């Protein structure tokens, strides 16, 4: 049992830098400030862009957590964006209330992740990526089957009719950016907090140690299968929050949500921002969304996006957050000197 190095199993660096109680207070303060944003940003367009950043950021945080802790890159991210969105629509269209539909969608997506994860986390990283991609394509094909049309509406997509309210908001209010803003922001804050707590806990340390040397961990008496399975389930749960938000805000689910391009956006955002820090994928989502908006106005969206991604990953291999942390370290060390 003592074979594992003390460095790996010691408390995280973040925990040593200051009292743990400070971070929840900072988190809460930022959340309160964020909730006031609609009073400052009166443009519905910009609020909509920021909501898109948050939903994309939540998905990117989920796959970033899995990549950093386990070394697994999930190509089939769209499976856990589109599936909960469809589950919300199916539940509400069959008479379930919104709160129950959201819980059912998250629970159903999480159970599905557990069943799938029990098989795919046994694979090596490259087969894992391809298996999750095949999973997303399988769900997309299933959603467009003629026999499934009465349930999923096939290629036309599913229009949802909500019964009741969600957190006091009706369907028409959920479609408004200023009214939906607090829901998206609270969901983002919870996703970041869950990912951060998991990464800085002993659970995260075991995952990183397993990624570094799985054979040594086994010889030391650690179970390397169950922690990776739990990490996969947690990552898929976080991604599922993004799918639920999309369903609540748009009241629509289409096969495009299960397409590789949908998951590819989250994957690219995570790579741009960097996965070593929980805020990296969120920063990547911000940069990617803003860049897409600007590149689209030029008429050369795909060309400029491809060039920007290659340059970004080449120049900043640790992502944009890696650059931010490096600059911050240089500034703080310079100040001490």
Give per-residue pLDDT as tens, 49-103. 999 999 999 999 999 999 999 999 999 999 999 999 999 999 998 889 999 999 9
Q: Is residue 323 part of a domain?
A: no
What is the model's pLDDT at position 334? 66
Query: Burial of 71 by CB count in 10 Å (0-12 exposed, 13-18 middle, 19+ buried)?
Result: middle
Q: Is residue 28 part of a domain?
A: no
pLDDT at 5 over 50: no
Q: Is residue 236 part of a domain?
A: yes
**How many angstroms separate the CA atoms of 240 and 107, rounded?**
10
Mean pLDDT computed over every residue of the chain = 88
What is the model's pLDDT at position 18? 47
In three-state secondary structure terms, 253 is: strand
What is the model's pLDDT at position 317? 86
Q: Residue 329: which region, alpha, beta or left (left: phi > 0; alpha: psi -120 to 50)?
A: alpha
Q: Is residue 20 part of a domain?
A: no
**In this predicted model, what pLDDT tens digit does every residue of 6-29 receive, in sequence order?**
333 333 444 444 455 566 677 777
What is the model's pLDDT at position 298? 87
What is the model's pLDDT at position 20? 55
Total tally of structural domains belonging to the chain: 1
pLDDT at 140 over 80: yes
Mean pLDDT across the stretch 168-185? Answer: 93
What is the model's pLDDT at position 22? 63
Q: Is residue 329 part of a domain?
A: no
**How many angstroms separate the CA atoms of 182 and 90, rounded?**
25
**In this predicted model, what pLDDT tens digit does every residue of 210-250 receive, in sequence order?**
999 888 898 888 888 999 999 999 999 999 999 999 999 99
Give the CA distances from residue 201 to residues 43, 194, 230, in Å, rounded to whole numbers and listed in that order.
40, 11, 14
Q: Looking at the chain, how many residues does it have?
A: 337
Q: Is residue 112 part of a domain?
A: yes
**In this predicted model, what pLDDT tens digit does every residue of 243-290 receive, in sequence order?**
999 999 999 999 999 998 899 999 999 999 998 888 899 999 999 999
Q: Is residue 108 part of a domain?
A: yes
Domain that holds residue 159: 50-259
**In this predicted model, what pLDDT tens digit does every residue of 300-328 receive, in sequence order?**
888 999 899 999 889 888 889 988 888 88
Strand positions, DSSP E, 68-204: 158-159
Structure tokens at 10: 């010691």
What is the model's pLDDT at position 115? 96
Mean pLDDT across the stretch 110-139? Answer: 93
Q: Is residue 307 part of a domain?
A: no
């Amino acid at each position: 049992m003592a074979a594992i190095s003390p460095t790996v199993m010691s408390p995280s660096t973040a925990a040593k830098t200051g009292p743990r109680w400070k971070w929840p207070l900072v988190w809460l303060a930022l959340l309160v400030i964020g909730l006031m944003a609609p009073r400052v940003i009166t443009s519905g367009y910009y609020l909509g862009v920021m909501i898109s950043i948050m939903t994309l950021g939540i998905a990117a945080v989920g796959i970033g957590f899995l990549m950093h802790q386990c070394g697994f890159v999930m190509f089939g991210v769209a499976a856990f964006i589109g599936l909960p969105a469809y589950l919300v629509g199916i539940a509400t269209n069959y008479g379930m209330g919104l709160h129950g539909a959201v819980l059912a969608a998250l629970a159903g997506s999480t159970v599905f992740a557990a069943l799938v994860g029990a098989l795919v986390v046994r694979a090596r990283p490259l087969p894992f990526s391809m298996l999750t991609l095949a999973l997303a394509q399988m769900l997309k094909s299933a959603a467009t089957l003629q026999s499934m049309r009465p349930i999923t509406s096939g290629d036309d997509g599913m229009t949802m009719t909500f019964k009741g309210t969600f957190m006091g908001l009706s369907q028409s209010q959920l479609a408004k950016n200023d009214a939906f803003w607090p829901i998206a922001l609270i969901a983002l804050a919870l996703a970041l907090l869950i990912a951060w707590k998991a990464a800085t806990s002993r659970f995260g340390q075991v995952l990183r140690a397993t990624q570094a040397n799985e054979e040594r961990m086994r010889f030391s008496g650690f179970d390397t299968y169950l922690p990776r399975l739990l990490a996969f389930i947690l990552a898929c749960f976080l991604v599922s929050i993004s799918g639920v938000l999309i369903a609540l805000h748009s009241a629509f689910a289409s096969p495009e949500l299960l397409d590789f391009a949908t998951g590819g956006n989250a994957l690219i955002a995570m790579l741009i921002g960097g996965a070593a820090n929980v805020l990296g994928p969120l920063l990547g989502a911000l940069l990617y969304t803003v860049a897409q908006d600007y590149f689209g106005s030029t008429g050369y969206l795909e060309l400029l996006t491809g060039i920007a991604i290659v340059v970004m990953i080449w120049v900043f291999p640790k992502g944009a957050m890696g650059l931010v942390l490096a600059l911050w370290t240089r500034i703080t060390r310079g100040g001490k000197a």
